[in-house]
Amino acid sequence: MRLTDRTRGFLQSLCLPVSSMPAKSLRRVLSAPWSKINVQFFGHMGALTATILSMACAPSTPGPEFNHPIPPQSHGFDGFLPDVEKVVLENGMRVLVLPRQGIPTVSFVMQYGIGGIHERPGETGVAHLLEHMLFKGSETIGTTDVAAERVLFDMIDELHEDMVAAHESDDLAEVKRLEDEINRLEDQAREFVVTNEFDRILSRAGARGLNATTTSESTIYFVELPANRAELFFALEADRMVNPVFREFYSERDVVMEERRMRVDSSPRGTLYERHLSTAFKIHPYGQPVVGLMEDLRRLGRRDVERYYQDYYGPNNAVLAVVGNVESDDVAAWARHYLGPIPERLDPPMVESLEPEQTEERRVIIEWDAEPALRIGWHVPEATHNDAAAIAMLSVILTGGRTSRLHRRLVTDEQIAASVFSSTGPGNRFPQLFQVDVIPVHTASTETVEAAIYEEIKRIQDEGPSDEELERVRNQLEAGRVRRLQSNLGLAFQLADSESLFGDWATTFKSAELMTEVVRDDVRRVARRYLNIENRTVGILQRPSVSR
């Protein structure tokens, strides 16, 4: 089969072995549904194909260490706010660019405003499962015959729907028969899979840190590339957004189910965390697990997840943050060229259920033959609330380091705890929890530890923090802020998260500045307002022999 230079360059840009591919295979690739994106995105690329070939397939020289600190003179900052350029594509995608000279790498964070709180009833875990599936390739990447795969996918999906019905009618023999048939067909489909091809293309280009994570409010994909291969990210991400194929779906779903067994069902602290959240949030979806409920995961089929992706994972729901040794004009041009033509999709489902005000203490006790643990949560406002800065200061005063109040009393002085820390969560967009987590030592009861925590909180409510404490906390927060700014990836995370959740990338930096304005009366006021008995939910992990 005769290839034009442009077509050959396109195939080589995907690291496909053009010289050794038979004509039949070449026709399959060129006639695959990728052609939709090929014509649209690559039809006028000309010499660009050779550039992508060099980025994706040439041997990569060793780059700098991942997250290597950026020289101070190249931070790209003016006071509190970095010099970020924001580009909004016609399809609604927001692209944030922060050029930083020095280390020749670029960090990419693609954040979709879809997470656990947006899942429909009966479909918990779908966002996290999608996180796994988007590494499985596309209609061209990761396959030798996508048409043959799709025939098998349809057969497997039908069998899965039958198996769900058999489960619900407790027909275990039929469940086993259908499970065996699904496994047989998945083995056939696996013969067409090119394992980890998406990952290998990026690795061949020198990528580091390729990964993803799912939260209550977002799904986030990230990677670092050498600066001279930054354009490859846009080509691959466009392909992944337009033509994903959820191959090996049911085996990957089983991996997620096993992940749930390990992290929650077989984990005493994981069980405590999940039960504590569901006790604190009776109505709001913050109370449902991001990893999903086991019964929901078992029912989820490939068609369910594919429909969810096609509905919501569009450019209008995405923020791309690019930080590193790159020019803003180049990033804007690549974004418009590769990502701009992708059509919009539906807005994420609205979260309309607000958690009613809690009027009395709630307690949940988990009995397990394991080391005890204590988790206390108080309802506090969302991250953009005027009280958020004072709550953050209160958190550091209580547990921020060895000189903090709870660490000094529980761990150093009385030695009744092995560790103590605090946080807010599980999200930022809606009213959340201020949480204190403690691991008591084996000689101390959770009652003793709990009482000591409340005594220290009462002291702050009555007296407030000292001026010395406030100064120490301000210094800690500023040092932490500077450390986070030294990492391209860390900064890209902050930019994408702030823009995705709040519609303004600068919110996170403005919040840091607000903390310098917090005074002792602010801390005392929020401690009194929120850290009270009727507003708290207590979770206790204890051995079965301990009496209640």
Q: Do residues 253 and 300 touch, judged by C-beta distance below 8 A?
A: yes
CATH number, domain of 235, equals: 3.30.830.10
Of 335, 99, 111, whose CA–CA distance to 227 is shortest? 99
Q: In this predicted model, which residue has the larger pLDDT, 29 or 319?
A: 319
Q: Are 121 and 218 in the same domain?
A: yes
Q: Are 447 and 490 in the same domain?
A: yes
Residue 440, preceding peptide bond in cis (omega within 30° of 0) = no
Answer whether residue 11 shows pLDDT above 60: no
Q: Do residues 483 and 491 touch, judged by C-beta distance below 8 A?
A: no
Q: Are 511 and 374 in the same domain?
A: yes
pLDDT digits (tens, 9 = 90+) for 494-513: 999 999 988 999 988 877 77
**CA geometry: angle at 47 spanning 41 and 53, to 5°?**
80
Of 143, 61, 135, 133, whose CA–CA distance to 104 is shortest? 61
How many residues are there in the chain? 548
* Number of C-beta neighbours around residue 534 at 10 A: 11
pTM: 0.84
Q: Which domain holds residue 184?
A: 145-192
Residue 66's pLDDT is what? Answer: 39
Burial 113-140 (b: 16+ CB within 10 A, else e): bbbbbbbeeebbbbbbbbbbbbbbbbbb
Residue 258 lies in a domain: yes
Q: DSSP character for 15?
A: T
Averaged over 149-163, what is the pLDDT? 97
Q: In this predicted model, which residue has the larger pLDDT, 484 or 377?
A: 377
Q: Are 333 and 446 in the same domain?
A: no
Distance CA 181, CA 176 (A): 9
Q: Are 470 and 528 in the same domain?
A: yes
Answer whether residue 58 shows pLDDT above 50: no
Between 6-15, 318-327, 371-380, 434-443, the lowest mean confidence (pLDDT) is in: 6-15
Residue 482's pLDDT is what? Answer: 78
Averaged over 506-530, what is the pLDDT? 89
Answer whether residue 97 shows pLDDT above 70: yes
Q: Are 425 and 446 in the same domain?
A: yes
Answer whether residue 351 shows pLDDT above 50: yes
Between 115-129, 312-326, 344-358, the lowest mean confidence (pLDDT) is in: 344-358
Residue 459 dihedral angles phi and psi, to the nearest 5°: -60, -40
Averaged over 94-115, what is the pLDDT? 96
Answer whether residue 72 shows pLDDT above 50: no
Distance CA 64, CA 484 (A): 18
Q: Are 309 and 247 in the same domain?
A: yes
Answer whether residue 24 shows pLDDT above 60: no
Q: DSSP character for 410?
A: I
Residue 522's pLDDT is what? Answer: 96
Q: Are 334 and 388 in the same domain?
A: no
Residue 546's pLDDT is what? Answer: 52
Distance CA 75, CA 65 (A): 18
Residue 59 lies in a domain: no
pLDDT digits (tens, 9 = 90+) for 450-490: 999 999 999 999 999 999 999 988 888 888 777 877 889 99
Answer whether residue 206 shows pLDDT above 70: yes
Residue 28's pLDDT is what? Answer: 37
Residue 37's pLDDT is what? Answer: 36
Distance CA 175, CA 500 (A): 42
Of 392, 452, 382, whose CA–CA distance to 417 is shortest? 452
Q: DSSP character for 68?
A: P
Query: What confidence tier does 103 reach under pLDDT thresholds 50, 70, 90?
Result: confident
Residue 279 lies in a domain: yes
Answer whether residue 39 shows pLDDT above 90: no
Domain boundary among 131, 161, 192: 192
Q: In this predicted model, which residue has the larger pLDDT, 378 or 349?
A: 378
Residue 300's pLDDT is what? Answer: 96
* Residue 478 host element (H or E): helix 467-485
Q: Are 215 and 89 in the same domain?
A: yes
Answer whether residue 297 shows pLDDT above 60: yes
Distance CA 156, CA 178 (A): 9
Residue 26's pLDDT is what? Answer: 37
Question: Average pLDDT, whole number, for the chain?
Answer: 86
Q: Are 277 and 305 in the same domain?
A: yes
Query: What confidence tier does 428 reach under pLDDT thresholds 50, 70, 90?
Result: very high
Residue 80's pLDDT is what? Answer: 58
Residue 79's pLDDT is what? Answer: 52
Residue 477's pLDDT is what? Answer: 82
Q: DSSP character for 81?
A: E
Averaged over 533-543, what is the pLDDT? 97
* Residue 500 host element (H or E): helix 488-502
Q: Are 175 and 240 in the same domain?
A: no
Domain count along the chain: 3
Answer whether residue 202 shows pLDDT above 60: yes
Answer whether residue 1 shows pLDDT above 80: no
Q: Are 133 and 159 in the same domain?
A: no
Residue 36 lies in a domain: no
Residue 33 lies in a domain: no
